[in-house]
Amino acid sequence: MTGKEFSRLLCFGCLLALLPATVWASASGLPSLVRDIGLCIVSAGLLAIVFVRFKIPEIAAYLVAGVVVGPIGTAIVTDPGNIETISELGLILLLYLIGLEIDVRKLLASGRILIVSGLLQYPLCIAFGVAITKLLVFAGIGGELLSGSYAPLYIGFVVAASSTLLVVKLFQETFQLDTEAGRIALGLLIFQDIWAIGVIAVQPNFSSPEIIPILLSFLGIAVLAVLAAFIAKFIIPIGFKWVAKKPEVVFAAAISWCFLIVLLGVYLDVLTSRLFGFDLHLSVGAEMGALIAGATIASLPYSAEIIGKVSVVKDFFVTLFFVGLGMSIPMPDGMNVLLLAGLFAVIAVLARYVIFFPLLYSTGLDRRNAMVTSVRLGQISEFSLVICFIGMQLGHITSDLNSAVIFAFVITALLTPLMYNRADSIHGGLSGLLGKLGFREPPQKEAGEDESYSLALLGFHRVASSLLYEFRKNHPELLPKTLVVDFNVNIHPKIAELGVAVKYGDLCNAETLHHLGVDKARVVVCTIPDDVLKGTTNRKIVRDVRHVNPNAVIIANAIELSESRALYDAGADYVFLQRVETARAVESAVEKALSGEIAEYRSSVEALYGEWHVREEVM
């Protein structure tokens, strides 16, 4: 930061220091709701600019903004309930977007991995949390805060669930929600939310737990899901078809659908009582209703449009969610609360290595994806905060213990971006230890002395999937002489069905490429761009391939125009940019459209490549 920038920020900071007095002096100028939202947004925005400048996660800025304007700061927000109400909307819209991103077929394709892990992970983590807490009490750690009979159970709830809001936000920002780790993480989060709903349903009856309320909660979810699916299949498409040419109306219709299902779920008991004369306590929480609303219309052709428009509104409300959370942070009553918060954060992260990772690995997920998924889920859930708050109201835990849980959430929330970005590095650093403990990578099939390939595809994602489709259609003789190297073993069977040799391997290691047979390939294609690659880059891969196979023709993938020169210098023979290749195709379509020949052009493209929606690709 230059001296001029610092002086300007200092002057601006002095101006902001006058804000509380200005607000109080003009308190009658705006309704309290509008004023409080404005103050929160101004504080969050300004702090976010400063925090991002110093490479601090923006979540920290929002939390600090809440502390600054909240009761333990300047107390200029007069009614924190206003912000809590608005932030609840952010959580609802986030879960609605998550539902829109859910591809049920891909989730079900995860099969045993997701179903078994989803069913076992939550109760196993609760048992882990209870055991660790009892061990701490036995060791004399925690004092009165952990001495209550329900305290160990609530710590189990705290460490058992991860933050849907934080994790999905990061997966969306990095465009990795459609990866194996992204799908497994999303599936586990959904299972965790369902488990949490069951916990909330039986909390009032902890002294005499009953299975009926839990079953009725799940029955309510099933009833709402069936009702929403029926409406979405037979009625919603008609309405969306009427308004398809008006994007702003599509957005309004999508939001109304979300809150229609939310209201149906929340007031399901009222409906059954009025219509059928009975009340079985089937009501569904607003968050789960929003998730169901999104999932039931995810297959509509307008889902991408809805996601784009709702995301903008969602970000506004999510910002207020974190500001509201910052306002709820209490003044710590002594160091014991903060020390326990740090301890809870450590236990939560430890559970990801002790429970999450072995469970995912044992159910069939490869070691890397199991570790990456576990590390990225290393935070405390918003649902855990709700469970602990209800527990405090019921007298199960003390207010100090609830405060420690809030601080633990803040700690793990601040660590989440760092852990997300370092997940692959953590796996690499622990690979030696994991191997000694029996967690081995899938065996790498080395190429035989006489085995050679015409083509080697390094990494397998959308480009490679479409490339194999074209080869199968136009050059089927090439498939038996094609090698695919990728670490996602769950798609290996589908690739192998095409007659392609597919092998597990880490693209970061030149020695691995040599043993897998890349050194004997005539043409090597780096199919994955740098923003998806983890732990390596196209430039490094090109150097490694050129080292192990000096005579190969290497085709590399670039994102930025300037990268092409560096890739050629590293040894690439040809560099393609997806943006340029796409632009060429669109340019041809635009030319035909301007000359009035777009229908003929579409027919010729479909005759050559087939209709996009009927292509059967691996991905």
For residue 215, is it within any domain?
yes
For residue 144, is it within any domain?
yes
150 and 290 belong to one structural domain: yes
For residue 20, is it within any domain?
yes
For residue 604, is it within any domain?
yes
Q: Which CATH number characterizes residue 91's domain?
A: 1.20.1530.20
Confidence (pLDDT) at 208: 67
For residue 619, is it within any domain?
no
353 and 208 belong to one structural domain: yes
Confidence (pLDDT) at 305: 63
C-alpha span between 309 and 493 (Å, rounded): 37
42 and 159 belong to one structural domain: no
C-alpha span between 202 and 204 (Å, rounded): 6
31 and 57 belong to one structural domain: yes
Query: Of 28, 53, 78, at which residue does a domain stop?
Result: 78
CA distances from 293 to 214, 227, 389 (A): 22, 10, 27
Query: Of 78, 103, 128, at which residue does a domain stop?
Result: 78
Q: Which CATH number characterizes residue 487's domain?
A: 3.40.50.720
Segments of the chain with pLDDT less than 50: 18, 21, 24-25, 27, 447-450
300 and 233 belong to one structural domain: yes
The runs of H, that is alpha helices, within 422-481 are: 423-436, 462-474
Q: pLDDT by residue (tens digit) across 299-319?
A: 776 666 676 667 667 777 778
467 and 537 belong to one structural domain: yes
Confidence (pLDDT) at 105: 64
- 529 DSSP 8-state letter: -
Residue 173 makes CB contacts below 8 A (sequence gap 6+) with none
Helix, strand, or coil here: 397?
coil
Confidence (pLDDT) at 50: 86
Token output for 582: 């796409």
Confidence (pLDDT) at 130: 92
For residue 571, is it within any domain?
yes
Residue 485 makes CB contacts below 8 A (sequence gap 6+) with 456, 457, 458, 459, 502, 503, 504, 505, 507, 513, 516, 518
Confidence (pLDDT) at 121: 94
Q: What is the pTM of this model?
A: 0.66
Query: Of 57, 78, 99, at which residue does a domain stop?
Result: 78
For residue 448, is it within any domain?
no
Q: pLDDT by residue (tens digit) across 394-424?
A: 888 888 888 888 889 888 988 888 898 888 8
118 and 46 belong to one structural domain: no
Per the structure, the complete domain to which residue 10 belongs is given by 3-78
Confidence (pLDDT) at 343: 92
Confidence (pLDDT) at 196: 82
For residue 441, is it within any domain?
no
Q: How many domains does the chain have?
A: 3
74 and 99 belong to one structural domain: no
CA angle (232 as vertex; 230, 237 as ends), nearest 5: 130
46 and 92 belong to one structural domain: no
473 and 355 belong to one structural domain: no
335 and 460 belong to one structural domain: no
Token output for 47: 């702090």
69 and 90 belong to one structural domain: no
Token output for 201: 């349903």
